[in-house]
A and B are shown apart, each in its own frame.
Chain A
Amino acid sequence: MTAPYLRIERLVKQFGAFTALKDVSLEIFPGEFVCFLGPSGCGKTTLLRAIAGLDIQTSGRIFQAGKEISTLPASKRDFGIVFQSYALFPNLSVAANVAYGLVSRGVAKVEIQTRVVDLLQLVGMPEAARKYPAQLSGGQQQRVALARALALSPGLLLLDEPLSALDARVRAHLRSEIRQLHQRLKVTTIMVTHDQEEALTMADRIVVMNQGVIEQVGTPSEVYRTPSSAFVADFVGTTNFLPAVVSAANQVRYAGIDLVCELDVRPGVGHDITLAVRPEDIAVRGVAAGTPNAFPVRIADVEFLGAFCRVKLAVEGGEAPIVADFSINLMRDLGVGVGKDMLIALPPEWLRVFPRAAQLP
């Protein structure tokens, strides 16, 4: 395994009595695209600003490229940054904005010019050099901000909710462009976002944060398929949470039905747990009376969503209906309609078990 490019050790950040980061440790590898994902106030921006040296941590250490940078001011660290507000200098042309850091480096004029042209080309804005920020759309301004952040070829690119101020189409477009840009430049990148779709599509690894702690670190599919906590299961994607009780080794009882599942969690027989299953994992096709974890349900509601339908399944003895996503294909083949009784199964390999929290998320 290669050495991490960025190592964060036991970071704590306090604002008065409020603890924004509680003992956070993390390793980020060279060339990775990492997303900090979490609801607002979870500490993701605080962590980013600590890495940048803009708001230094209360305690803990940070290493970048093998050197400790824990106490360095922002100006002594190696990073480029893009803010949600773009923060372009309004009185400078696009070219002057991009060249801003190069000029004070004492780079030769001709060289600066070529570099600015290259960078604007890179972000797909070759025509904008002479314009002023106020003459550009939000998406265009953010591209310029990106070019400016990349101008000094930083070892680390920090993106603080760069797409949040943009409308959906521009956002989706810029999302794939940033991703492509990253694949081309291979610059280690950290992006803060509260948008799970953004994180899932862009990141090599996602760091899910909640209330100042890291809940899970993993690839998008790891985070999605095997969430390590009920919070992650709920925050990333959609999940059914079913209250259940451990009834035997590798068996839980939900709404009077015994279900087989991998109990890698510790609680013994009789303990309350929460069972999590994604709507798209609920099996219908080929489910018969002998199929593991099969039980009867009645269709309570069907919501048409284009490529698939979101179906609410009422379970006798269950408190809330189970939500399942059925493909149109499946809907057609089985003649699914409101009021119909059918047999479904919760495949044991897709069931996750979490300790029962005081309140379900």
Chain B
Amino acid sequence: MTAAATPATPAAAAAAAYPVVRRQLDRDDMVMRAGLVVLIGWMLLTLVLPLWTLLSKSFHNQNGEFVGLANYLLYFSTPSLFDSVWNSLYVSVVTTVIVLPLAFVYAYALQRSCMRWKGLFQALALIPILAPSLLPAISLIYLFGNQGFLKELLFGGSIYGAGGIIVAQVFYCFPHALMILVAALSMADGRLYEAADVLGASKTRVFFTVTLPGAKYGVISAGFVIFTLVVTDFGIAKVIGGRFNVLATDIFKQVIGQQNFEMGAVVGFVLLLPAVVAFAANRITERKQVALLSARAVPLEPKREPRRDWLLFGFCALVGGLIAGILAMAAWASVVTRWPYNLALTLKNYAFSEFDSNGWSAYWNSIELASWTAVIGTVVVFLGAYLLEKTRGFAWGRGIAQFMAMLPMAVPGLVLGLAYIFFFNARGNPLGFIYATMTILVVNSVTHFYTVSHLTATTALKQLDGEFEAVSASLKVSLLRTMVRVTTPVCLPAVLDVSIYLFVNAMTTVSAVIFLYSTDTKPAAVTIINMDEAGFTAAAAAMAMCIVATSAAVKIVHLMLTRRFERTTQAWRKR
């Protein structure tokens, strides 16, 4: 700091006789700095450099000659391309506005009420996260499509287009928002509520002065996450969008359809704009966030209140019922012989080798991909979030890392995938050997799902007392040990959430991997698209069901683990 060289006051000037001191670094500082350098290096390799390669591609023509903004000018002067911008914004905003209140009330019911069957409702609401985004789209086609049995409800309207996209997106985004809001509502200081109660504040007032401010950060994050998910999702628009073009499908058309990589790069960078806004807004709210759960806070335990509990029960039953309905439709479709003519039940749609050359091996590829993503991703994300939240000094390094941790949320899977092609397939890249292997799929998935995981971990870390590290230092205990003994156990629920989030997303993602798989590593979700395109919609539904079942099984194990942890290691939460 140069502040002492240009003193702000006469007193400081007098003291300038003494030189500015710099704190010596101890082992913790070294470990922390080394960790941050590794983190930055990882993010440069897996995110920034690929994106940079992509950016430079958008300024070149197909022969590799630099053409400046020519590609961009062409893009903005072609209405068929440019209209997609408005289409994307429209479906994203509408979906966000619908999902946010639904998810908040649902999360509130799960965390702050004593309604029945909370476990069931939680599981039910998380089902969409277990499914590829293609599943609700396929279900809606069976329900309201040209041969759908509820088609009459649309009064001649068509499910193909904006309406279908929005309905499917609501289904798909709901659990993503719910996860963040549940986390935001899970930690609260019970004494605040007791205080408000004693002060005679009405229920509504308590809600608006205690509950909502406490969860504000979560609500805002959830809003950005939904918005960005919709803007960047590819599967739903591909299956049910019809002639309603959005940015994500445009990229696919440019790259796969017309082999116009340069224009694909341009569309990708247009897609980054809304995400940059989301990033900036998120940073501003983050700055206002303070630790809500100090070490002396008393965890809140909801009290019984029949009228409220039953109202919330009714709400959850309705939302949960709709989710179950959409899922059941896909399940039914997967075992029907020939919709809608022959409704006899059959398992022949599950004989995937009849419909796709990879058959069941695609399914096992997905399992492998998801497992590695969960393990590697959780370690990287939690360590990264810890380094950024709980250590001091090295400000510029942390600033860079923080920025890069938020960036993936802004990068659609398709764009990242495309960037990986350009970067890892480039001649002379020493890392080129991972191209077309499982490794590149894992690295891509970890990077693609980094931000939400990072936010989940950060939210949990923020809620810890800020003086734990100071106390450790005074007790001569290394940061690493405090991280292992205190920080991680206290954040264990969040750590588990992150790992499951990564597993399930890697299992269900289409957009992140569609440009990167090879014939040996083709994941299950991609075969859904392939089979749907080839007209084997029932087989596509069947594969979607396999993914859902797998993710659900993993999720159940997760729930059981969480419950056990709650009983053993989390006993301290009870008063």
Contact = CB atoms under 8 A, between A and B. Distances in A.
Interface string A125-168: 00000001111001001000000110110100010000001000
Given A14-B12, A101-B477, A213-B11, A58 B486 contact: no
B205 interface: no
A141 B473 contact: no
A177 B572 CA distance: 28
A61 B21 CA distance: 8
Given A14-B4, A75-B26, A87 B15 contact: no
A214 to B, nearest CB: 11
B575 interface: yes
A53 B569 contact: no
A101 B475 contact: yes
Interface string A12-37: 10101111001100000000000000
A59 B19 contact: yes
Interface size class of B (residues with CB under 8 A): 35 or more
Interface string B235-247: 0000000000000
Interface centre among A104, A132, A134 (most CB of B within 10 A): A134
Interface string B139-154: 0000000000000000
Interface string A194-211: 000000000000000000
Contact of B572 (A17, A101, A133, A149): A133
A57 B475 contact: no
A79 B474 contact: yes
B12 A19 contact: yes
Contact of B470 (A17, A74, A92): A74
Interface stretch (B290-298, B402-410, B432-440, B529-537): B290-298
A148 B475 contact: yes
Contacts of B476: 75, 101, 104-105, 152
Interface string B91-134: 00000000000000000000000000000000000000000000
Contacts of A165: 296
Contact of A87 (B468, B485, B573): B468
A91 interface: yes
B9 interface: yes
A251 interface: no
B24 A23 contact: no
Interface in B28-46: 28-29
Nearest to A101: B475
B20 A59 contact: yes
Nearest to B1: A58
B465 interface: yes
A15 B547 CA distance: 54
B18 interface: yes
Given A59-B16, A87-B471, A71 B478 contact: no
Contact of B295 (A9, A52, A76, A90): A90
Interface in A47-106: 52-54, 56-61, 70-77, 79-81, 83, 85-92, 100-101, 104-105
A11 B8 CA distance: 15
A85 B29 contact: no
Nearest to B478: A104
Contact of B12 (A23, A100, A105): A23
B8 A17 contact: yes
A52 B470 contact: yes
A167 B275 CA distance: 48
A76 B485 contact: no
Contact of A58 (B3, B298, B465, B571): B3
Given A23-B12, A132-B572, A134-B573, A73 B475 contact: no
Nearest to A69: B24
Contact of B8 (A14, A57, A148): A14
A56 B473 CA distance: 14
B199 interface: no
Interface in B294-329: 294-296, 298-299
A212 interface: yes
B467 A85 contact: yes
B475 A152 contact: yes
B61 interface: no
A76 B28 CA distance: 11
Contact of A60 (B21, B475, B573): B21
A279 to B, nearest CB: 34
Nearest to A22: B11
Contact of B296 (A18, A56, A61, A141): A141
A31 B574 CA distance: 40
Given A12-B12, A132-B572, A152-B475, A58 B21 contact: yes
A59 B5 CA distance: 11
A144 B9 CA distance: 42
B15 A85 contact: no
Contacts of A91: 486, 489-490, 569-570, 572
Contact of A134 (B8, B23, B298): B298
A103 B20 CA distance: 37
B481 interface: yes
B493 to A, nearest CB: 12
Contacts of B477: 100-101, 104
Contacts of A213: 11
B171 to A, nearest CB: 37
Given A73-B23, A87-B465, A22 B474 contact: no
B344 interface: no
Given A74-B470, A89-B468, A90-B572, A58 B475 contact: no
11 contacts: A14-B4, A57-B21, A59-B21, A74-B474, A75-B26, A79-B474, A80-B474, A85-B465, A88-B295, A90-B573, A152-B475
8 closest Cβ pairs, A-B complex: A101-B475, A22-B11, A74-B473, A87-B467, A132-B572, A73-B26, A23-B15, A56-B23
Given A19-B9, A72-B24, A76-B24, 8 more contacts: A11-B15, A75-B27, A87-B470, A89-B468, A91-B486, A101-B476, A134-B299, A138-B296
